[in-house]
Amino acid sequence: MGGVAGPPPHDSQLAIVKLLRDEGEEITAEWRELCRWDPMLPPETTPPIAPALISAVADALDHPQPLGWGPDPEMEKVVGAFTLSAGSLEVAIGELVCLGEAMRRRLFDRIPESETAETYLRLEMLIDRAIGAAAHEAAGWTRVQALIDADTGLLNDHALNRDLHREIARAVRYRRALCVVVFVADDVDGLARELRQLVRAGDLAYRSGEDELAAILAEAGPGEGTSVVSRLQASGAPPLRAGVASYPDDGDDPDTLLAAARERMHA
């Protein structure tokens, strides 16, 4: 019997998937052209990692996430890298909107009528989820940036206070040692470069004041703190003064530990 075919089941491959995989370069060119002339984007905008994102779109359209499951994990990973490369959330969203338009312009007149509704549904959901993933990535990046000192690239004093609370709690729970080292130098940038090279994986370095740096040494006593100071002095770092304090001998809260380390540094 005749009649209009219904939409394909979710486990069948839509025509748009093969078109995306076969014509990735042409779609990339169309996408870049739309971004270049979009009045909402900076002049001459070029979407980053375009081929990788188009490939991820094809895979996500081929295996759509059920409603309520959130974004496709691989798609989310690529969108995260795309957002960071785009430089801002606004640019990333504008470029994703242009990608959806590029696919509609280039591909939709070749999609079988029986697949049109399903293709629109999957594509709309995919672009919406990609924009959501971009916003999530940008929000996380903004939170991290708020804890970084722009001049040295080290974490700042807000991060120091946050992390000291966390590390003291771990030291209490697991009955482990903890060491804090505070440094002062006239050339704080030069000292920051050397300090980044010397701290162990898992240890953290901070700019805690205008001419002051600090380091948290997890599971380390005062001897390890003194060793870090000695290695810094032997490394060719700028002239410095340093003070070491440890949990539990010198205190069990961030303010007390930092005060003890600073007192020894100035002494």
| CATH assignment at residue 19 | 1.10.490
For residue 119, being part of any structural domain is answered with: yes
The arithmetic mean of pLDDT across residues 141-152, rounded, is: 77
Name the residue with tokens 């939170």: 143
Higher model confidence: residue 58 or residue 138?
Answer: 58
Same-domain check for residues 186 and 114: no
Residue 40: count of CB within 10 angstroms of its CB = 12
Domain boundary among 145, 167, 183: 145
Write out pLDDT tens, residues 190-204.
Answer: 888 888 877 765 568
For residue 19, being part of any structural domain is answered with: yes
For residue 191, being part of any structural domain is answered with: yes
Same-domain check for residues 59 and 103: yes
Same-domain check for residues 47 and 123: yes
CA distance 170 to 252: 11
Same-domain check for residues 71 and 95: yes
For residue 40, being part of any structural domain is answered with: yes
| CATH assignment at residue 219 | 3.30.70.270
Cβ atoms 63, 79 nearer than 8 A: no
For residue 37, being part of any structural domain is answered with: yes
pLDDT value at 71 more than 70: no
Same-domain check for residues 20 and 124: yes
**Torsion sign over Cα 96, 98, 101, 103:** negative
CA distance 267 to 76: 52
Report the share of the chain in percent with pLDDT over 90.
29
Same-domain check for residues 180 and 71: no
Same-domain check for residues 232 and 134: no
Number of domains into which the chain is organized:
2
Same-domain check for residues 99 and 216: no
Same-domain check for residues 112 and 169: no
Same-domain check for residues 113 and 226: no
Whether the model clears a pTM of 0.85, i.e. scores above it, the answer is no
Same-domain check for residues 96 and 70: yes
Q: What is the residue-wise DSSP string for 24-37? A: HHHHHHHHHHHHHH
Look at residue 6 in the predicted model and tell me its pLDDT.
Answer: 42
CA distance 18 to 62: 9
Name the residue with tokens 């900076």: 42
Helices (H), the chain: 15-22, 24-37, 50-62, 73-86, 89-107, 116-145, 157-174, 188-198, 222-234, 254-266
Same-domain check for residues 139 and 165: no
CA distance 114 to 101: 21
Look at residue 139 in the predicted model and tell me its pLDDT.
Answer: 78
Tell me the three state secondary structure of residue 248. Answer: coil
Look at residue 7 in the predicted model and tell me its pLDDT.
Answer: 41
For residue 9, being part of any structural domain is answered with: no
CA distance 61 to 65: 9
Residue range of the domain that includes 209: 157-266
